[in-house]
């Protein structure tokens, strides 16, 4: 067989495999596309019409962006993100490095892996209910452990700074294991030869991390940041159970603000317009972040 014939045969086999893969993935991608596109299209239609279905252009967008309460909710969401994101990233990365370097038993690593999955799979409503019992002023276990009962009880969910820390602690408890799992998986891709050579050259643990391991973790760190920012923008369940957005507007994050607009004030047009703006902003943010990924790793 001539080289040209072999090339044609290889290309034909590859084409058949690619077509088969596309046929197998089409139902999944089609379902995801429909599930993601239809709600967005409905939100756009709702955003440019009034309650009677009449087209009103960008009026809802103007009302949504001109509402000062929107910027208050964005401020509280930003504070929440500044608290939870660095904490989860540092704790998750630190735990991953600790397990990677000190735990060599496959069984123990598997046990830690399964334990890290437990907080992630628990519904956030259930997590909120449990932590509400923890932070309850009269009978909460935290006040009982601190000895602050009766007249000296700490009002964790009624004091503005403490309420923010309380809802943030729930997020940190539930999603730090997610960061750990991603970072630990990334550490497994670091070539052992590079690490061994650095150790033979007398590199410290910090030098090893900074010049070798961090290089392989950078795309994963960006990926975790994007995922967690998206989660922060839609955080709702445990915050609603714990504080309902209070005290005042201290924990009324963007998702709770949207909920209040749509279901308490029945302003579906303004809430739909704001949802479209958030969706477009997140898409642009992801496009910007993806440019920082190394080309060979995209």
- Tens-place pLDDT, residues 67-105: 999 999 999 999 999 999 999 999 999 999 999 999 989
On whether both 2 and 88 belong to a single domain, the answer is no
**Average pLDDT of the segment spanning 8-17:** 61
Tokens of 183: 């970072």
Do 171 and 201 have their domain in common?
yes
Residue 55 within any structural domain of the chain: no
Phi and psi based region of residue 53 (left: phi greater than 0; alpha: psi -120 to 50; beta: remaining): left
Average pLDDT score, the chain = 86
Total structural domains in the chain? Answer: 2
pLDDT digits (tens, 9 = 90+) for 23-40: 888 888 888 888 878 888
Report pLDDT for 74.
94
Examine residue 1 and state whether it is found in any structural domain, yes or no.
yes
pLDDT in tens, 93-138: 999 999 999 998 999 999 999 999 999 999 999 999 999 999 988 8
Q: Tell me how far apart the terminal alpha carbons of the chain are, to the nearest angstrom.
A: 37
What's the gap between Cα 83 and its chain centre?
14
Say yes or no: 235 and 129 in one domain: yes
- 26 shares its domain with 155: no
**The two three-digit tokens of residue 222, written as one number:** 């960006």
- pLDDT at position 205 is 85
Co-location of 182 and 80 in the same domain = yes
Instruction: For tokens 């939870």, name the residue.
Output: 84
- What is the per-residue pLDDT for 203? 81
pLDDT(172) > 70: yes
Residues 125 and 27 placed together within one structural domain of the fold: no
Q: pLDDT over 90 for what percent of the chain? A: 45
CA dist 154 and 145 (Å) reads 12
Q: Is residue 249 part of a domain?
A: yes
pLDDT of residue 7: 47
Residue 36: domain span: 1-47
Distance CA 298, CA 291 (A): 9
Residue 181 in any domain: the answer is yes
Note whether 7 and 131 are same-domain residues. no
Mean pLDDT computed over 169-193: 93
Beta-carbon contacts of residue 138 (< 8 Å; ≥ 6 apart):
149, 153
17 and 113 housed in the same domain: no
DSSP helix/strand/coil, 55: strand
């Amino acid at each position: 067989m001539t080289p040209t014939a072999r090339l044609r045969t290889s290309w034909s086999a590859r084409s058949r495999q690619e077509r088969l893969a596309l046929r197998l993935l089409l139902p999944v991608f089609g379902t995801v596309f429909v599930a993601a596109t239809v709600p967005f299209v409905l939100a756009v239609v709702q955003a440019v019409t009034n309650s009677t279905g009449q087209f009103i252009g960008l009026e809802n967008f103007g009302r949504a962006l001109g509402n000062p309460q929107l910027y208050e909710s964005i401020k509280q969401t930003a504070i929440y993100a500044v608290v939870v994101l660095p904490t989860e990233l540092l704790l998750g990365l630190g735990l991953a490095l600790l397990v990677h370097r000190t735990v060599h038993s496959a069984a123990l690593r598997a046990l830690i892996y399964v334990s890290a999955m437990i907080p992630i799979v628990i519904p956030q409503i259930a997590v909120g209910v449990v932590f509400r019992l923890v932070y309850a002023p009269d009978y909460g276990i935290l006040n009982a452990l601190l000895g602050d009962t009766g007249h000296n009880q700490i009002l964790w969910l009624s004091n503005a700074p403490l309420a923010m820390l309380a809802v943030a602690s729930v997020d940190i408890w539930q999603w730090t294991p997610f960061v750990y799992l991603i970072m630990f998986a990334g550490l497994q891709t670091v070539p052992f030869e590079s690490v061994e050579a650095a150790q033979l050259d007398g590199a410290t643990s910090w030098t090893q991390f900074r010049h070798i391991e961090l290089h392989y973790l950078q795309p994963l760190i960006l990926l975790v940041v994007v995922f967690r920012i998206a989660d922060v923008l839609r955080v709702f369940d445990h915050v609603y159970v714990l504080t309902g957005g209070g005290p005042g507007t201290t924990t009324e994050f963007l998702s709770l603000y949207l909920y209040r607009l749509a279901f308490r004030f029945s302003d579906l047009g303004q809430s739909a317009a704001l949802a479209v703006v958030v969706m477009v902003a997140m898409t642009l943010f992801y496009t910007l972040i993806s440019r920082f990924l190394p080309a060979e790793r995209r």
